[in-house]
């Protein structure tokens, strides 16, 4: 089942991030609390995965060039399912954010709105940069990262202890608010896992790559992997 594959991928990210997380813990002199629910709890130990390490590992697995025509064909065929999956993810985010805002007092809402505005600004800047690079073909490493990204995003939803702690601190939540936030995060995780479990594996893996399908050209950016020209893979 895809849920099992998702959990294995999340654990892989945790392993790569172990060294980084240990250093972070020592520097801050305080542990991050374990996940509120038992799923992955015995493996995470409060460690924060290093996305760069996971992406580097994904790039190392890109010795063979991707069959770009096949990827475009798969994305085109699965487009309705991919769009439905991403639409449902957006719904889950809106539900969670609405529940979080409902917990806050006036001062906390101001903090939340300031942080939300900063996030939207960064997102707009990133989208602007992506638009500027929209005509550049994806490199093999970029394809590998985009295929890995759904698993990275899944980790932060499934193992949410870091977000629970950071949100509590940033918004200055009291004990009752923190308990309700934990409930909201648990509810979103359960809904998310149900969504992933009902999503065919190809759809899940291609959700991020589909956003850059126009850059899946037949002539990738020159890389050592691309220059080797071994047999293509799917």
Total domain count for the chain? 1
Write down the pLDDT at residue 163: 94
Average pLDDT over residues 25-47: 39
Tell me which residue range forms the domain holding 194. Answer: 2-220
- pLDDT band, residue 201 (cuts 50/70/90): confident
As a whole number of angstroms, the distance between CA 72 and CA 105 comes to 48
pLDDT of 27 > 60? The answer is no
* pLDDT score of 187: 97
| Mean pLDDT on 135-163 | 92
Higher model confidence: residue 94 or residue 27? 94
Is residue 223 over pLDDT 70?
A: no
pLDDT at residue 206 is higher than 50:
yes
Question: Is 80 part of a structural domain of the chain?
Answer: yes
In a domain, residue 143? The reply is yes
What is the model's pLDDT at position 136? 83
Does 223 or 1 have the greater pLDDT score? 1
**pLDDT of 120:** 87
**Dist CA 190 CA 79 (whole Å):** 25
pLDDT, tens digit (0-9, with 9 covering 90-100), for 116-137: 999 888 888 877 776 665 668 8
229 within domain boundaries: no
> Is there a domain that residue 232 lies in?
no
Residues 6+ apart with CB under 8 A from 87: none
Between 11 and 212, residue with greater pLDDT: 212
Instruction: Return the pLDDT at 207.
Output: 94
pLDDT at residue 220 is higher than 80: no
Q: What is the pLDDT of residue 176?
A: 97
Q: Is residue 226 part of a domain?
A: no
Q: Is 41 helix (H, G, I), strand (E, B) or coil?
A: helix
Four-point Cα dihedral 22, 28, 30, 32, nearest 10: -60
Answer yes or no: is 225 within a domain: no
Residue 173, pLDDT above cutoff 80: yes
Q: What percent of the chain has pLDDT over 70?
A: 63
Q: Would you say residue 171 lies in a domain? A: yes
Answer whether residue 88 is part of any domain: yes
> What is the signed CA dihedral for 225, 126, 46, 197, rounded to 10 degrees?
-80
- What integer best gives the mean pLDDT of the chain? 76
Question: Rounded to an integer, what is the distance from CA 229 to the centroid of its chain?
Answer: 30
Q: Which residues pair with 202 in a beta bridge?
A: none
The three-class DSSP label of residue 66 is strand
Residue 37 above 50 pLDDT? Answer: no
19 pLDDT exceeds 50? no
């Amino acid at each position: 089942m895809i849920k099992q594959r998702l959990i294995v991928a999340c654990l892989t990210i945790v392993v790569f991030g172990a060294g980084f997380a240990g250093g972070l813990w020592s520097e801050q002199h305080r542990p991050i609390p374990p996940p509120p629910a038992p799923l992955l709890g015995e493996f995470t130990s409060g460690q924060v995965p290093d996305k760069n390490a996971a992406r580097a590992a994904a790039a190392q697995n890109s010795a063979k060039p991707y069959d770009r025509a096949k990827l475009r064909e798969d994305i085109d065929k699965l487009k309705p399912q991919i769009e439905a999956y991403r639409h449902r993810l957006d719904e889950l985010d809106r539900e969670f954010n609405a529940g979080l805002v409902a917990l806050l007092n006036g001062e906390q809402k101001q903090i939340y709105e300031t942080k939300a505005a900063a996030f939207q600004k960064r997102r707009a800047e990133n989208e602007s940069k992506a638009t500027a690079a929209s005509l550049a073909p994806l490199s093999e490493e970029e394809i590998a990262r985009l295929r890995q990204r759904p698993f990275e995003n899944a980790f932060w939803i499934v193992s949410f202890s870091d977000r629970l702690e950071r949100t509590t601190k940033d918004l200055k939540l009291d004990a009752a608010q923190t308990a309700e936030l934990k409930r909201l995060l648990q509810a979103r995780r359960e809904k998310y896992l149900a969504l992933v479990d009902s999503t065919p594996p190809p759809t899940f893996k291609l959700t991020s790559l589909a956003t850059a399908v126009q850059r899946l050209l037949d002539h990738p950016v020159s890389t050592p992997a691309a220059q080797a020209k071994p047999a293509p893979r799917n």
